[in-house]
Structure 1
């Protein structure tokens, strides 16, 4: 069985294929969503490039999942996952929220006495892991994804959330200035308007008056630039 695995975000779609339950992911690729009118076009491009005939489609999407209809948050793609699967003539498809997938990928951290390899983590605050408590999985991208992994006896339960849409709460005068700056343009300012790639651009513009894309701001910060570091 050949699976096409897609992680669809607001800016990029990450693709790979797999040929068995325990097999490694093959030919990982990152495509810009803006380069394709539809998700079908992106899948067709990837499958043609790698000469794939797909049996199963696995989709993790940046947005709430309540049925087959998908409306990607911060993206122009809208599609029915069932119709996409039918057009690809696959036998089955799986559709889940992207941070539900992230949470499920970390379930071993709760079920076993283990932690992430040191090259996969940076400890922000020390402490003693308690495997009986929920694990919060959160990550910025084009938006801000949130999910919780909750112990349930010998199993775990994933609690989906759209936590990026909670109201942003400034903690100091500098953050209050950023909130006021964004509120003039947006009205309501959610957490993902700050903690995200577009949010980084907004912070940099507020602090410097200049517009730069998020990757450039990150590169400036890594190079020790004061304005880049202040924004990050």
Structure 2
């Protein structure tokens, strides 16, 4: 746990659609938060994965409130429902809407949405619709593994929400060379992390560590929230 950070779990409050009794996890700074970021997990790892745990604690230490939640299928996995595939896209998006609406009702100041891989992609598909103050994507899945010829980026060309995508240069779901050929909205900022993969883990020969990349990502997110988003009242 990062010193100066409060974490608490609020069980049974996260909407899960038709299935699951989920929970959400807050990380809050000790002082007044400069904004709130809602983070969703990727397809295969839960909201308390080492990646998202480190990211949430690092951002709280930088003055941001971070809310993590789990999609219905992942909540069922946690409760002993076995390994389940992600819910259909429509259900994932609807759960995102519900979580965002609940947070907007209770949090003052700017609220950004985003997440790791699939969670960030789902957030990107409704950021304009819900009026999010910002979008943060960590390891964006620009294409399915092994299919760079079939990019999933059409909506990114028209995106209006201020967006920060933090991507590893050798990400198997969107490497630097492939992404350079895509048409992306001018609202999108891309931060490339040297020699990093989908989890922002660099090659050992690069001289960087995964922890260094995670903290560089947290610095970039905190700066983005401070510079691009409206100030809290």
Greater strand share, 1 or 2? 1
**Rg comparison, structure with higher value:** 1
Structure 1-normalised TM-score?
Answer: 0.29
Give me the TM-score of the superposition, normalised by structure 2.
Answer: 0.29
